[in-house]
Amino acid sequence: MFKKVFFLKNILSTLSNYKRGKIHLSNPPLLAWVEINNICNLKCIMCPITFSTSRKKVIMSLAQLKQIVDQIKGFILEVYLFVGGEPLLHSDIISIIECCKTNGVEPVIHTNGVKLSDEISKALINFRVRNIFFSFDGYTKETYENIRVGANFENTIENINQLTAIKKEKKTTKPHIVIETLMDRVNIRPFTIEKEKKFKELFIDNNNISFTRKYISNFATEMPANEIYTFPKTVRGFTFTPCPNLWSSLNILSNGNVVPCCIDFNGENILGNINNESISKIWNGPKIKELRLKHFNGDIGDIPLCSKCGSVHRKNFHGIPFEFPGIGSFVRNTFNYDVYRAIWNRTVNL
Ligand code: SF4
């Protein structure tokens, strides 16, 4: 409870600093994204990891993860255990979850679900992880396997159903299961309400699962120009607002480099490295301050990623984006995922 009050105070001071264009921040970051590995077992047709060739494959050690958690545990509510890569491939994933939970930091796991074993399912339940997010693109076997190359439709559903079965056996509602489907054109074309309904029926206890549809990012046009990535930077038609990530979150890549966001999956804007500096030093270091200043002045033409990114054209209220990172975490952790989603659908979703 105390931590949530602290977090709420931190959100308010973050919003105030953002709105006033503060460059040196009194607030610590609200969220952290920690890439525990940048390897994956699939070759999904829309994923940066499939196309990225410039980064070495690195698996973060448990010791390094512990050092990070030690530095952020006082102020971070949720830590996303990925930037690129499939978190369940990490051989220490159970210890990583345990480390986060015992330090009061909620781990957020987005997974393709292919490697979800009974052992991992039991750990998620035992450590009372709040939510688990499955990226499940495609309502039919054909669409799914064309998008998530290397996965098997029936096996992934079986893994998710097995998690539900263990939850029922243990009489628990946690972790809440969320199945996310991206709305790229590959999915939109074959999408019908009827197909979605049939898809939901494949999951046991599906009334207690949240099914969501989200628009796909074109990763600041870094991704190949093809039929999947159809959303140019101003597609949403909103005026420019500075990127809220620079005031609210830090992304730590598996090699220790810190970047401003998950769009920077190749590490173009390196703000520092946690092997050489503390997180708090990087948070108010010269590189991120320069980015904040440029964003606040609307002068981002010479930042290759940001100048092409949709994140600076978000739906906003008096200059504050509705999707401001951290607010959703607070709602999810104070209420539950469905409350968060209902608010999202009313405010952010187009
Ligand atoms: S504008 Fe886009 S690329 Fe730049 S920091 Fe924000 S999310 Fe990342």
pLDDT (0 to 100) of residue 34:
97
Mean pLDDT for the stretch of residues 88-116? 97
**Mean pLDDT of the region 181-197:** 68
- C-alpha 245 – ligand 1 centre gap (Å): 7
The answer, yes or no, to whether any atom of ligand 1 lies below 6 A from the CB of 220, is yes
Q: Is the CB of 259 under 6 A from ligand 1?
A: no
Query: Is 179 a pocket residue for ligand 1 (Cβ < 6 Å)?
Result: no
CA pair distance 78, 75, nearest whole angstrom = 9
Which residue(s) pair with 178 in the sheet?
A: 133, 210
Residue appearing with tokens 């308010």: 12
Residue 219 has pLDDT above 90, yes or no: no
- In this prediction, residue 13 carries a pLDDT of 96
Q: Two tokens at 195?
A: 């197909």
Whether 309 lines ligand 1, by a CB cut-off of 6 Å, is: yes
The answer, yes or no, to whether any atom of ligand 1 lies below 6 A from the CB of 263, is yes
Cβ(217) to ligand 1 under 6 A? no
Lowest-pLDDT choice from 9-23, 57-71, 300-314: 300-314
Q: pLDDT grade, residue 183 (50/70/90)?
A: low
3-state secondary structure 139-171: CCHHHHHHHCCCCCHHHHHHHHHHHHHHHHHCC
Ligand 1 pocket residue status of 261, Cβ below 6 Å: yes
Confidence of residue 213 (pLDDT cuts 50, 70, 90): confident
Which residue minimizes the CA distance to atom 6 of ligand 1? 243
SS3 20: coil
The mean pLDDT value for 119-130 works out to 97
Determine the atom of ligand 1 nearest the C-alpha atom of 295: 1
Question: For residue 75, how far is the Cα from the chain centroid?
Answer: 18
Tell me, what's the pLDDT at 234?
Answer: 41
Integer-rounded Cα radius of gyration of the chain: 19
pLDDT at 225: 44
pLDDT in tens, 229-248: 444 444 455 788 999 999 99
pLDDT of amino acid 79: 97
Strand residues in the chain grouped as ranges (E): 31-34, 78-80, 106-111, 131-135, 176-183, 209-215, 249-252, 257-259, 272-273, 316-317, 320-321
